[in-house]
Structure 1
């Protein structure tokens, strides 16, 4: 093989590699895409003490960990984002769930939504709430600040979030004094995906344009 031919083949191979090589984009913003939110077993006992007995579930899943009471699938409608810069910091959106629970064969709540609600007054809470979107369409629990969050770039675990009865739910139950009562803990085990920052997206587009131009240029060169 003559060296000019070898150089031509090497040049074509290198160009092909550049065109198919994946582009790595670093991102500090992430979106929850799936997973399970679980409620611990103490939740059932605490609610029973105020007259609410769990009598049925629908479309629920196995909790994580298995010794918890019940799990709710994180739905595809979720748009919750956070950043890992300086530690776990929520940015926007909600975590949406499917599944319902019934108490006393009368009250069915579920398809829960976790998100931020401004103006919350319950002591020692984070501003995040758990809202029923199935029947009552109201906030059931205010959520405490979570214990240390575990995040490895692909999975997010938010353990031991305290559920505190909201003023709205206390009024529905007919006893405003229940406001702020500890009603168990919740745990979020979620899969996440990176969300490219705007600057990163522009960089990818610029690189893509350059590669496209290279491809058109190399098509004019006959490789032997």
Structure 2
């Protein structure tokens, strides 16, 4: 059997297999690639009540929606992944941000990182935390996610994320009783991209090989 005949058989067989093989619908994995995390205006008033007045900011962006207080750009260092199983199931990684805010002309915090912190015991917290990476390098808020996320395959929105003062931040503020205090609401509006599964990559390679084999066989027939 000549190579051209073998290549034709392989190409036809692979194509036939792909056409009749049952399609399995599995949960897909996605990665956050950009977007904005916004803080509502009530956050400023609540912090004022415990002695923190917003006096400045750097590298912030327009919040979503526009009536929120401030927005922080989701940075390219983000490696947060999730599955669309059940609508939205977090898997791993963090959401990194740029931008800082200044309180009382003295305390600058920002370049926030949102991710999991196992073992958090604050009441009503989800295990997800917001950490300052600019100056204090500590968890500022435990996050309570009460509303379901909205996901359409390209955009992820997590609304009504409640900010609860962390034990670490309460200690810095000199008042441990502030632990768990509701300090406002955040909202995450992110653009995402699908993460190729290993099986999917192999399927694409197999399909490409079959196509090349078929073209090679057709060309040999044409010129033989």
Task: Please give the TM-score of this superposition, normalised by the length of structure 2.
Answer: 0.85
Matched residues, number: 199
Correspondences of 1:37-186 after superposition (within 5 Å): 37-186=37-186
Deviations 1:96-115 (A, max 9, x none): 10000000011000010000
Distance in 1 between residues matched to 2:190 and 2:79, nearest whole Å: 12
- Are the aligned partners of 2:141 and 2:164 in contact in 1 as well (CA < 8 Å)? yes
| Cα deviation, residue 221, structure 1 | 4.4
Distance in 2 between residues matched to 1:61 and 1:32, nearest whole Å: 18
User: What stretches of structure 1 move > 4 A for 4+ residues in a row?
Assistant: none
Distance in 2 between residues matched to 1:38 and 1:221, nearest whole Å: 62
| Cα deviation, residue 222, structure 1 | 3.8
Deviations 1:181-206 (A, max 9, x none): 00000000011111122221221121
- Are the aligned partners of 2:145 and 2:160 in contact in 1 as well (CA < 8 Å)? no
| Cα deviation, residue 207, structure 1 | 1.1
Give the aligned partner of residue 8 of structure 2.
none
Give the aligned partner of residue 6 of structure 1.
none
Distance in 2 between residues matched to 1:109 and 1:176, nearest whole Å: 20
- Are the aligned partners of 2:64 and 2:71 in contact in 1 as well (CA < 8 Å)? yes
Give the aligned partner of residue 31 of structure 1.
31
- Are the aligned partners of 2:158 and 2:188 in contact in 1 as well (CA < 8 Å)? yes
Distance in 1 between residues matched to 2:74 and 2:146, nearest whole Å: 18
| Cα deviation, residue 170, structure 1 | 0.6
Give the aligned partner of residue 190 of structure 1.
190
Tell me, what secondary structure is at the counterpart of 1:121? Answer: coil
| Cα deviation, residue 209, structure 1 | 1.9
Single out whichever of 31-40 and 188-197 deviates more from structure 2: 188-197
Distance in 2 between residues matched to 1:204 and 1:91, nearest whole Å: 25
Distance in 1 between residues matched to 2:108 and 2:220, nearest whole Å: 68
Tell me, what secondary structure is at the counterpart of 1:144? Answer: strand
Distance in 1 between residues matched to 2:120 and 2:219, nearest whole Å: 63
| Cα deviation, residue 146, structure 1 | 3.5
5+ residue gaps, structure 2: 1-14, 16-24
Deviations 1:85-133 (A, max 9, x none): 1221101111010000000011000010000000101000100000011
5+ residue gaps, structure 1: 1-17, 19-25
Single out whichever of 26-35 and 104-113 deviates more from structure 2: 26-35
